[in-house]
Amino acid sequence: MISLSPALKRLLLAIMFATALVAVACTSASSSDPTVEPTAEPTAVQASGDSSTSQPDQPSPTPDSPTPAPTATIPAVTPTSTPAPTPRAISTDPASNRIALTSTDGSIYTINPDGSDRQRVTATGASLPGGLTANFYAWPSWSPDGRHLLITGFTADGAGGIETSLLRAPAASVSTVPDVLYRDLPGTTGIGGIPHFPLWHPEASSVALIANIGGGLLTFLIDVEEGPDQAVSNGAPVYIHWSPDGSHMLVHTAELLVRHDFSPGGEPIGSEQIGTGSLSYRVAKFSPLSDDYVYVGLFNSQHALLIGSAAEATPKQIGIAGENNSFEWSPNGDRIAVGDGRRAGIFDRLKIVDPNGDADDAVIADTPLFAFWWSPDGKQILAVLPGNEPSNLGLAIIDSATGDVENLGFVEPSSDMLFVLAFFDQYTPDLNVWSPDSSRFVFSGVLGEGLAVDGAGRQVQFGDEDSSVWVIDPSGASPPLSLGSGVFGTWSPE
């Protein structure tokens, strides 16, 4: 039995909270589902792995769930964008790649991985009750071209309250006022702990945003230069993913999976319901190199891993899914890492699946884990495991070819890092953990046994005020490097 601290219990509760909302959302699906036609039933190519035919338990909503399922039709979204600043490109030379971080005082910085050239992207202001400042920022997210950051801003509204906005800022400096892409509606409470889930279009021309609209969650697109905003769907919980060229978006709302199609100019041209639906996964994922996508659907009373395509009407089965699944394509699209398990919040194992269905599943880590990320070269997978104490988690590197697991040590994650762990598969497109050359990764929190460079200075009582943003070399050739106090860091795409 794994014993968890209150902080780590929040990690599991956040996941279970999102899962519990599924049952609530499904009760209103008949009134809010888009009018799309399902595709044909899948054709089995190869079903490998566990052949159990049992169905997962349907999650029940928690009695105090704060986010009700939406029942209203999709409202019009009023454009809120202001004229965008002139883009200021930063270098994409691998020798000068950057990390964006959230400091504990609510500022956003970019910095070189060696700790040099620290540049402020945002500015903070006067103190507010509760330890906030008049301008408090969080959740930096690099655009695919490395020119801009999406940032959540918390600002004083002049009436004693806090206004929350999604901002776009040049990544190079603080010399321009951030562009306001979206202002949250007054009185909305965000999504289980954060204001919204934004996701960059692959060409950085728009942002897909999931936000609380007061009666539930709305998914819509924001043109970062011109607008207007386009509503895509409503429902909760919801997870989204772009195809590599931005011509398709997958939206998984409750058990319903819909593929939305767009013209080269970004105009919606149609949508299609995919399969019969499943509650056993969160994010359907496109291959990084094609319009193929992986998801879970029912097939012969089993939860099957399926590969769909915008060009093919009939999906193919590539394996058997568990009752709780997350998946990540390898960077070159030739393999899919699948975490599966029997309960929400933790996977029982990690396996590698062939997207062509030509090889049997290979279990490469037969151990409980919370989250996992491919390195950009596809050779390693960073995994987050249960810790050796109630207050921490373990970090490990898995060799994707051999399955060898190297335990690096333990860390007490910051609050922001905990939230990323809870929804890592939604965050992976934009929040880069690995360095572009696959030599290091960035992680936020307090280092523990096996990783701490100074037991007296780093083995401290956990709290965000003690948290640092760390650059960690999994080879052990160099010790972890602190980039300063902070609660979250993410690497530039190049």
DSSP 44-60: ES---S----PPPPPP-
CA distance 153 to 106: 9
- DSSP reduced 3-state for 457: helix
- Residues 6 or more apart from 437 whose CB is under 8 A from it? 94, 376, 377
pLDDT in tens, the chain (494 residues): 344 454 444 454 444 444 433 333 333 333 333 333 333 333 333 333 333 333 223 222 222 322 233 333 333 333 333 333 333 233 344 335 899 999 988 889 999 999 999 998 887 665 555 565 567 889 999 999 999 999 998 887 666 677 888 999 988 766 567 888 988 887 776 776 788 889 999 999 999 999 888 778 888 899 988 766 788 888 888 999 999 999 999 999 988 999 999 998 888 899 999 988 888 999 999 999 999 999 998 777 778 899 999 888 788 889 888 889 999 999 999 999 999 988 777 999 999 999 988 777 788 888 899 999 999 999 999 999 999 887 889 999 999 998 899 999 999 999 899 999 989 999 888 899 999 999 999 999 999 888 875 444 333 334 555 799 999 999 989 999 999 999 999 999 98
Q: Are strands 179-183 and 162-170 parallel, antiparallel or unpaired?
A: antiparallel
Q: Give residue for tokens 């006067």.
A: 126
Q: What is the pTM of this model?
A: 0.80
Q: What is the pLDDT of residue 332?
A: 94
- Residues 6 or more apart from 461 whose CB is under 8 A from it? none
> 53 is written with which tokens?
């035919």
Q: What is the pLDDT of residue 381?
A: 97
Q: What is the pLDDT of residue 342?
A: 82
Residue 441: which of 372, 371, 491, 493 has the closest Cα? 491
DSSP per-residue codes, 152-185: EEEEE-SSS-EEEEEEEEESS-SSSPPEEEEEPP
Please give the radius of gyration of the chain, using alpha carbons only, rounded to the nearest integer. 21
**In which element (H, E) is residue 415 found?**
helix 415-422
> How many of the other CB atoms lie within 10 Å of CB of 76?
8
> 419 is written with which tokens?
């939230």
User: What distance, in Å, lies between the first and last C-alpha atoms of the chain?
Assistant: 41
- Residues 6 or more apart from 294 whose CB is under 8 A from it? 284, 285, 287, 305, 306, 307, 308, 318, 327, 329, 336, 355
